Amino acid sequence: MEVCGGHTAAIHRHGLKALIPSGIELVSGPGCPVCVTETVYIDHAIQLAQRDNTTIATFGDLARVPGSCGTLNGARSRGADIRIVYSPLDALRFAAKNPKREVVLLAIGFETTAGPIAETLGQAIDSNQPNFKVLCGLKTMPNALRVLLSDPETSIDGLILPGHVAVITGTEPFRFIPAEFGVSCSVSGFEAIDLLDSIYEIVCAIRGARPELTNRYCRAVRDQGNVAARKLIDRVFVKTSSRWRGLGEIADSGLRIRDEYAKWDAGTIPVHVKQSVDHPSCRCSEILRGAAKPIECPLFGTTCTPDAPIGACMVSSEGACAAVYQFEDVAPYA
Ligand code: SF4
Cα 38 to Cα 4: distance, rounded to the nearest angstrom? 17
Residue 225 C-alpha from the chain's centroid: 19
Residue from 252, 229, 254, 245 nearest 279 by CA? 245
Give the DSSP H or E segment for 166: helix 163-169
Give the DSSP H or E segment for 234: helix 227-236
Could you tell me the distance, in angstroms and rounded to a whole number, from the CA of residue 73 to the centre of ligand 1?
19
Could you tell me the distance, in angstroms and rounded to a whole number, from the CA of residue 320 to the centre of ligand 1?
9
pLDDT at residue 221, as a whole number: 98
Could you tell me the distance, in angstroms and rounded to a whole number, from the CA of residue 144 to the centre of ligand 1?
21
Give bridge partners of residue 106 from the DSSP assignment: 135
Sheet holding 132-138, edge to edge: 81-84, 54-58, 102-109, 132-138
pLDDT at residue 328, as a whole number: 82
Q: Which residues have CB under 8 Å from 247's CB, separation 6+?
A: 30, 36, 144, 147, 148, 288, 289
Residue from 179, 145, 181 nearest 288 by CA? 145
Q: What's the start-to-end Cα distance of the chain, in Å?
A: 26
CA-321 nearest atom, ligand 1? 3
Q: Check pocket membership of 56 for ligand 1, CB cut-off 6 A.
A: no
Q: Check pocket membership of 310 for ligand 1, CB cut-off 6 A.
A: yes
Look up the pTM and report it: 0.94
pLDDT in tens, the chain (334 residues): 999 999 999 999 999 999 999 999 999 999 999 999 999 999 999 999 999 999 999 998 999 999 998 999 999 999 999 999 999 999 999 999 999 999 999 999 999 999 999 999 999 999 999 999 999 999 999 999 999 999 988 889 999 999 999 999 999 999 999 999 999 999 999 999 999 999 999 999 999 999 999 999 999 999 999 999 999 999 999 999 999 999 999 999 999 999 999 999 999 999 998 888 899 999 999 999 999 999 999 999 999 999 999 999 999 999 999 999 999 877 665 4
Q: Check pocket membership of 148 for ligand 1, CB cut-off 6 A.
A: no
Rounded alpha-carbon distances, angstroms, from residue 96 to 55, 118, 121, 128: 13, 17, 13, 10
Q: Which of 36, 42, 299, 330 to mutate to test the pocket of ligand 1 (most atoms within 8 A of CB)?
A: 299
Strand ranges for the chain from DSSP E: 2-4, 28-31, 54-58, 81-84, 102-109, 132-138, 158-161, 184-187, 213-215, 237-244, 248-257
Ordered DSSP codes for 33-48: HHHHS-HHHHHHHHHH
